[in-house]
Structure 1
Amino acid sequence: MKYVVLIHSNPQPWGHPTIDFTDVGRAIPADERAAMNKEFDALLAELSASGEFVSGLALDAPSTSRTYRWEGRKRVSTDGPYAESKEQLAGFFVLDCATRARAEEVAAQFAGPGDVVELRPEMEF
């Protein structure tokens, strides 16, 4: 089953990896951050080797987005993100895991300093 790991963050300024641009991330000593980066690289290598990694993208700043919606009887577009919160969608990874438990185990490892991670399964029709 496929799952998407959505990473929400509020880096100031916007940038990736988000740990480098959040207050909580910048407060972590350089050697600890290097170790965290090494662990994350190992996680991605493991997921690639197992075939569980499908794809992922780091997203540009929310200010570069355009939102589309239906109002009345027509489509309307506006600049910027829909969410009116500090945290915005920063990127995502698509995983193909055999079980929900495995997807949850992996998703927990994507949560970094200053980020909120959401795990959502693919809708089956």
Structure 2
Amino acid sequence: MKYVILIHSNPDPWGHPTSRYTAEGRALSEEQHEQGDRAFDALLEEISASGELVTGEALADPASSTVHTWTPEGHLATDGPYAETKEQLAGFFLIDCASRQRAEELAAQFAGPGSVVELRPAMWSGGDDQ
């Protein structure tokens, strides 16, 4: 089953990896960052080799987004971001796992300093949204 790992973060300034731009990440030593980078690279290598990684992307600064909405008068485009929160969607990974348990194991490893990770099943027409 496919799952999306959504990474929410509040880097200031916006940058990737977001863990280097959050208050929590700036409090870490360079050695801790390098250790985290190695662990993350190993995780990506593992799930690439197993075929579980489908794709992933870091996202640009939410301030660069355009929000498109529908109104009875027609479509309306406004400057983003959409969410009125500090945390914004920083990136995502699409994974394909044999079980929810395996997806949870992987998702936990994507959480970094100053970020929150959300795991959500991907949907398809006629699919189960549980």
The question of a shared fold, defined as TM-score above 0.5 by the shorter chain, is answered with yes
Which AA in structure 1 matches 2:107?
A
Match status 1:21 vs 2:21: yes
Matches within 5 A, 1:1-125: 1-124=1-124, 125=126
- Please state whether the residue corresponding to 1:110 is helix, strand or coil: coil
- Please state whether the residue corresponding to 1:123 is helix, strand or coil: coil
Shift of 1:77: 1.2
- Please state whether the residue corresponding to 2:19 is helix, strand or coil: helix
Q: State the alpha-carbon separation in 1 of the partners of residues 104 and 95 from structure 2.
A: 11
Q: State the alpha-carbon separation in 2 of the partners of residues 99 and 43 from structure 1.
A: 18
- Please state whether the residue corresponding to 2:54 is helix, strand or coil: strand
Shift of 1:72: 2.4
Quote the RMSD (CA, aligned, Å). Answer: 0.8
Which AA in structure 1 matches 2:4?
V
Q: State the alpha-carbon separation in 2 of the partners of residues 74 and 2 from structure 1.
A: 35
User: What are structure 1's unaligned runs of at least 5 residues?
Assistant: none
Shift of 1:56: 0.5
> Alpha-carbon deviations, 1:20-61, whole Å to 9, x = none?
111110101111111111111000000000000000001000
- Please state whether the residue corresponding to 2:60 is helix, strand or coil: coil
Which AA in structure 1 matches 2:120?
R
- Please state whether the residue corresponding to 1:85 is helix, strand or coil: coil
Q: Quick one: percent identity of the two aligned structures?
A: 61
Which AA in structure 2 matches 1:47?
I
Greater Cα shift, 41-50 or 30-39: 30-39
Aligned length: 125
Shift of 1:12: 0.6
Q: State the alpha-carbon separation in 2 of the partners of residues 36 and 61 from structure 1.
A: 23
Task: Provide the TM-score with structure 1 as the length reference.
Answer: 0.97
Task: Provide the TM-score with structure 2 as the length reference.
Answer: 0.93
Q: State the alpha-carbon separation in 2 of the partners of residues 117 and 39 from structure 1.
A: 17
Normalized per residue, the structure richer in helix is 1
Which stretches of structure 1, 4 residues or longer, exceed 2 Å deviation after superposition?
none
